[in-house]
Structure 1
């Protein structure tokens, strides 16, 4: 192939690579800076509750991130010193009482599809959790890949307290894998809040930060990931997700195939030459 020929067919690129830096969110704030996209739940007067529209837009945004070429890591946070208080009592909980089974299933599938979209987008997701993190807010934090919290954060899977099962949006599958079966059972059966220090000890949080530095440190981590070997990071995330359903032999074979693909990338070559030349590699995600 000559130097003036495109490496990828433009028609293929047009159908599979999009830019999200110009996306204007309607039901939360969305910004992109240096390959890091930041979702800010922005209803601070109500501790950032979700609405039907917010659920749907979040689901669709994370779905589109699978094709984004200008976003390599994502931060999710909340405005005004709280993360998210869950579904809005007046705009979601009240209306749900008037729905029949088919419409209720439409809603619960939509909320579950948000978690699926978060787990299937290749970008690592960092949740920056301060203050209230309850219900669906706790689920969004749980569905992220990494979580930074504060000592004053209070995370509650409070479905039990409103007469619902703890098995919501994948909680019974995901939460035990993060903090263990017994601890997850306690939180899901009781709905009690888990404090920041407890969340750190239990492995829910990767790190606790001072509230005034929380977003800055979460974005610094996301920036580091976004400027790393992003193709390889995407495979790591895919393997972490897929291997929950594999035996050890299957997992080892899947990782062998994934690693062989990574060895074909320019980033692998860049890392080798940088090591030989005693400098830090500059990754480009290809």
Structure 2
């Protein structure tokens, strides 16, 4: 019998057939680009696109090719949130159990994005609102344009700003005061403000945005990928830890990384004055 390895339980995602958005991969399969593709409505989410995105990000834990993901919107906008007539209107007619199933599903998308081992880069142009702003927030990096406007609109429709993890995630990115402002007023945050408070990592011209996001994704994918996944895991795990638990968790994480071939290859390349080649193992 042939010897099995854990890699045998993984599969390629380069040819994934998306149903509710566009899915494209780089030639080497390492960088995937998701395009929310309903530009005539500023790329709103539907019940089906929520569910497919949730399932896809869950399944990417088993990818043996994709190492970084870019998510963007078509037509000069990122995402306007939940579709008014395909989500908002039906919600006004649902029972409490149905509503709870929906709000848990939307939260499951955020959890799936945070748990996915791949770094996720949101390329944000134009409108980034409501649930779209939460998809951006759940990403690991956010690149924007001068035209980008980000708004957490939940209170504008009589809902709490506490949606899809917003009250936990947003203060960790922009600070408690800024998060309170954005979540309670529902106002739009422009690109300069987003860059100044750390929501955006960088701002680029619209024509350059996708290329910059994919270049960053490729750099991450070609780098110490296993170490990147460990870093993302630690960033998630350490939110609720005290200093003792933090230091011990990072000691274990670093020791794990030290037994990978990447660590040895990086040292040998440095000693030989060469560029290291990372293989993620």
| 2-structure distance, mates of 1:78, 1:239 | 29
Q: Distance in 1 between matches of 2:58 and 2:266?
A: 31
> How big is each residue's C-alpha offset from its partner over 1:80-108, in whole Å with a ceiling of 9 and x where there is no partner?
00000000000000000110000000000
Q: What TM-score comes out, normalization by structure 1 length?
A: 0.96
Separation in structure 2 between the aligned mates of residue 169 and residue 132 of structure 1, nearest angstrom: 19
RMSD after superposition: 1.1
List aligned pairs for 1:222-261, cutoff 5 A: 222-261=217-256
| 1-structure distance, mates of 2:64, 2:225 | 11
> Where does the alignment leave 5 or more consecutive residues of structure 1 unmatched?
none
Of 100, 103, 115, which residue of structure 1 is paired with 2:110?
A: 115
In the alignment, structure 1 residue 128 sits paired with structure 2 residue 128: no
- TM-score, normalisation: structure 2: 0.98
CA distance in 2, matches of 1:76, 1:249: 36
- The answer as to 2:8 corresponding to 1:14 is yes
**Which residue, out of 143, 146, 149, partners 1:148?**
143
How far has the Cα of 1:9 moved from its partner?
1.5
- What SS is found at the alignment partner of 2:162? coil
Q: CA deviation at 1:177?
A: 0.3
> How far apart in 1 are the matches of 2:7 and 2:225?
18
Q: Which of 144, 148, 160 lines up with 2:155 in the alignment?
A: 160
State the partner residue of 1:174.
Answer: 169
SS in 2 for 1:75: strand
Q: CA deviation at 1:174?
A: 0.3
CA distance in 1, matches of 2:74, 2:144: 14
1:84 is aligned to: 79
Indicate the SS of the match to 2:11. Answer: coil
Q: 1:196-235 to 2 correspondence within 5 Å?
A: 196-235=191-230
- Per-residue Cα deviation, 1:127-146 (whole angstroms, up to 9, x for no partner): 00000000000000000001
Matched, 1:49 2:50: no
Say whether residues 1:30 and 2:44 are aligned partners.
Answer: no
- 1:271 and 2:278 aligned: no
Provide runs of 4+ in structure 1 moved above 2 Å.
12-15
1:139 aligns with 2:134: yes
**Aligned equivalents of 1:19 and 1:173: distance in 2?**
33
Verify the 8 A CA contact 2:7 2:64 in the aligned structure 1.
Answer: no
CA positional deviation for 1:19: 1.0
Q: How many residues align?
A: 279
How far the C-alpha of 1:14 sits from its partner, in A, is 3.4
SS of alignment partner, residue 92 of structure 1: helix
Query: Residue deviations 1:25-78, cap 9 Å, x none?
Result: 000001111300111000000000000000000000000111111000000100
- Counterpart CA distance in 1 for 2:237 and 2:276 is 29
**Could you say what secondary structure the match of 1:213 adopts?**
helix
SS in 2 for 1:133: strand
Tell me by how many angstroms 1:22 deviates. Answer: 1.1
SS in 2 for 1:272: helix
